Amino acid sequence: MADPRDPRPLIGEPLSLDLLNTRWNGGTVQDLLTRQDGYRIWLSSAGLAERCPADDAGLAATSAARDALADLVRAAEEQRTPDLGALNDVLAHGRLRRTLTAAGPVETVEVDSPGWLAAWLAADDYLALLRQGAHRIKRCAHENCILHFFDTSQNGRRRWCSMAVCGNRAKAARHYEKTAR
C-alpha cells in the first residue's frame, strides 16, 4: 500500500520501474530521492520500510541503482547498445540463496550490507521484467511525462502511464486542436 505522503503521480509499478518513477515531471522535474525523508517515503510505498534501512548508504545505493536502470531503459528506447556495467555492479552486491526446508523451497536475498537491499531488489526486479518481455517496459507517450510502466494489457498497446492523467491531457489537446481550427 502506498504511503499517503508519497507525492508521485504514478505509484505501484513493479519495483524497478517504481524506483525509476521517483523522478517525475510536475512542471519541473521532481526527485523523491534528493533527501532522506523522500527515500523513507519511497521505501514505505514500496513495502520495504521494515526490511531496508533509510540511511545514507541505502539512499546512495538505491540512487546508483536508479541511475543504472534509467540508462538501460533509455538505451532500449533509443535502440542503442546499453552499458550493462552499472546494473551488474549493483547486482554484484547481493545474491539469491535458495534452500529447501521442511516447509518447502525458500529464497533468501543476501546482500553485502543492509544498505544494498532495496537497490539489489530493484535491479533483480528489472531482470524479471526483461524475462517477461522487455518490449512491455514503456515510457509514457505524453511528451512532457517521464514516467515508465510495465504494460500488462492483453494486446501490449498501452500508451499512457495513467489514462486519467496523461491520456486525458492528450485527448484534451487533440480536441482543442480540432476546435481551434
Q: Is 120 within a domain?
A: yes
Q: Is 164 within a domain?
A: no
Q: Does residue 21 carry a pLDDT above 50?
A: yes
Q: Is 57 within a domain?
A: yes
Q: Is 145 within a domain?
A: no
Neighbours of 43 (CB within 10 A): 22
Q: What tens digit of pLDDT does each residue of 83-112 get? A: 999 999 999 999 999 999 999 999 999 999
CB 98 within 8 A of CB 107: yes
Q: Is 177 exposed, middle or buried (0-12, 13-18, 19+ CB in 10 A)?
A: exposed
Assign 131 a pLDDT band (cuts: 50, 70, 90): very high
Q: Is 10 within a domain?
A: no
Confidence (pTM): 0.90
* Degrees to nearest 5, angle at CA 36 with 34 and 42: 85
Measured CA to CA, the distance from residue 146 to residue 163 in angstroms comes to: 15
Q: What pLDDT does residue 178 have?
A: 65
Q: How far is CA 2 from CA 46, 118, 177, in A?
A: 7, 16, 37
Question: What residues make up the domain containing 103?
Answer: 15-136
Q: Is 130 within a domain?
A: yes
Q: Is 42 within a domain?
A: yes
**CATH number reported for the structural domain that contains residue 104 in this entry:** 1.10.3300.10
Measured CA to CA, the distance from residue 91 to residue 88 in angstroms comes to: 5
Q: Does residue 168 carry a pLDDT above 70?
A: no
Q: What pLDDT does residue 170 have?
A: 54
Q: Is 166 within a domain?
A: no
100 strand-pairing partners: 105
Domains held by the chain: number = 1
Q: What is the DSSP secondary structure assignment for residue 135, as one 8-state letter?
A: G
Measured CA to CA, the distance from residue 102 to residue 106 in angstroms comes to: 10
Q: Does residue 164 carry a pLDDT above 90?
A: no
Q: What tens digit of pLDDT does each residue of 27-48 get? A: 899 999 999 999 999 999 999 9
Q: Does residue 175 carry a pLDDT above 60?
A: no
Q: What pLDDT does residue 162 have?
A: 85
Q: Does residue 173 carry a pLDDT above 60?
A: no
